[in-house]
A and B are shown apart, each in its own frame.
Chain A
């Protein structure tokens, strides 16, 4: 096997890592600020994609502005989910929270299906990224995959310094680390919880928009209605990546995303019984991470107690 084939698969893996990272960052932000294990994350991103499909389908709105609107709609869906549903559930009621998250996810998936009703089977999607390929030192990948990698890096390059240095970013971290202590410093915790949902859900919308098929020539790709499900296949590795940091450490979640994306693609090169089970592997890793209780490595007991109260 030539080095360029491995490089090619690794680059495709990196694009996958980028999508996983954008999902995982949202999962961590939302969990830390509001205690919600957001199983509705995928469906909230899906709403943005459907709005994009509808807008481009009528040929009035050009693809890029339509993608921007789609992203904004995902952010809005997240804001509404927090304001109308999750803010009303007590943080300690973990099981209730998870069941409600599943319900909210099903709701948004159903909304997506309803919006696209009448378009059974397969839907032609107008791409907003070029369908061409790029040659990077012999490794040929889609331009959309390269752009996905660059967008993910750019998103992190903006978000992490903002969280670290700005007044709002620090306030958001304060709410994430200790909600009550943040409130006692005059920080409006409810507002910052909503901000976390807006950022996380916007990123989910962005990730899914980058995922739609951009490559099938002039006509654009084909999206199947069976893709309109509450839990998409990449949500599993995204949770796996987030769990590498115990759902609380962003840098660890990013490292986890890099590994999940790369390994899942590179396993294509493994012999058949293993290469066929790449999706299952993500579940195995998640189980191990849950058993390890990875949150211990990133926060003291006092911090974890504050998170749960």
Chain B
């Protein structure tokens, strides 16, 4: 479904991704893990078209989307839930969903109604300003905002960051419902156990390169890699 081959990305003179290759199949949940600053978010941003690619190719459902505009990527059904600040805090829940569905044009009203059926909690808060909601509610809104665009593949940058386990469980439950209906997911997570519990396959990144690629269960046994995450993740981002 998504195939990344030999991806190199630089921020100015500093190269941050080195020959990254990654595959995501149909109906699959893939975890992208790694230490702080390993380049996980950069991979997602390059795929979504918000930063330029130095070299390499990105294909989605057979179409080359390397260097495509974010708008084109969204229209192809590849949606990213951005990390940390996925909602527009100064806007109401209703406005957030409306802006989130921008690419759908005149179809947005129906798409928003469909999403509100899946996120009943948000229905009662349509006029609340997003910035005044709890972290969990904001993340729920961010997820709804992504789902309103009817993704075929969803890239999630840090679903669980700063949220209570109970809230995370609720988010995952909603996510699983979409996966059952055929939405594929790439999840970037700081929380390794969580990621490995939902993903069948995992990639592990370190300093801009892929260090591991295989079944989640296998990565579970790789203490040499995972220790780095546990050592750094205690200090926050």
Q: Which residues of A line the B interface, CB within 8 A?
A: 167, 170-171, 173-174, 177-178, 180-189, 299-300, 302-303, 305-306
Contact = CB atoms under 8 A, between A and B. Distances in A.
A185 B103 contact: yes
A184 B102 contact: no
Contacts of B45: 180
B151 to A, nearest CB: 11
Contacts of A180: 45, 50, 82
Given A170-B98, A181-B86, A300-B131, A186 B103 contact: yes
B167 interface: no
16 contacts: A170-B91, A170-B99, A171-B99, A173-B99, A174-B99, A174-B102, A177-B88, A180-B45, A181-B86, A181-B87, A183-B49, A183-B71, A184-B48, A185-B145, A187-B99, A187-B103
Interface stretch (B73-81, B168-176, B187-195): B73-81
A173 B90 contact: yes
Contacts of A177: 88-91
Nearest to A190: B69
Interface of B: 45, 48-50, 69-71, 74-75, 79-82, 84-91, 95, 98-103, 108, 131, 145, 149
Given A167-B102, A171-B99, A184 B79 contact: yes
Nearest to B94: A170
Contacts of B69: 188
Contact of B102 (A178, A187, A300, A306): A187
Given A185-B103, A187-B99, A299 B90 contact: yes
Given A177-B89, A178-B85, A299-B89, 12 more contacts: A170-B95, A171-B102, A173-B91, A174-B99, A177-B88, A177-B90, A184-B80, A187-B102, A302-B84, A303-B90, A303-B131, A305-B85
A305 B85 CA distance: 10
Nearest to A183: B70
- A-side interface mostly: helix
A303 B100 CA distance: 17
Given A170-B98, A171-B99, A174-B102, A181 B82 contact: yes
Nearest to A177: B88
A187 B50 CA distance: 11
Contact of A303 (B79, B80, B86, B89): B89
| Among B45, B89, B102, residue most surrounded by chain A Cβ atoms (within 10 Å) | B102
A178 B130 CA distance: 13
Nearest to B148: A185
Contacts of A178: 85, 88
B225 to A, nearest CB: 29
Contacts of A167: 98, 102, 108
Contacts of B50: 180, 183-184
B137 to A, nearest CB: 15
Interface centre among A180, A302, A305 (most CB of B within 10 A): A180
B227 to A, nearest CB: 31
A185 B89 contact: no
A173 B98 CA distance: 12
B74 A186 contact: yes
B12 to A, nearest CB: 9
Contacts of B82: 180-181, 184
A187 B145 CA distance: 13
Contacts of A182: 88, 99
A177 B86 CA distance: 11
A267 B90 CA distance: 36
B27 to A, nearest CB: 23
Contacts of A171: 99, 102
A126 to B, nearest CB: 44
A186 B70 CA distance: 6
Nearest to B79: A184
A171 B50 CA distance: 17
Contact of B85 (A170, A183, A187, A302): A302
Contacts of A183: 48-50, 70-71
Contacts of B89: 177, 299-300, 302-303
Nearest to A309: B85
B131 A173 contact: no
Given A174-B91, A302-B89, A306-B85, A185 B102 contact: yes
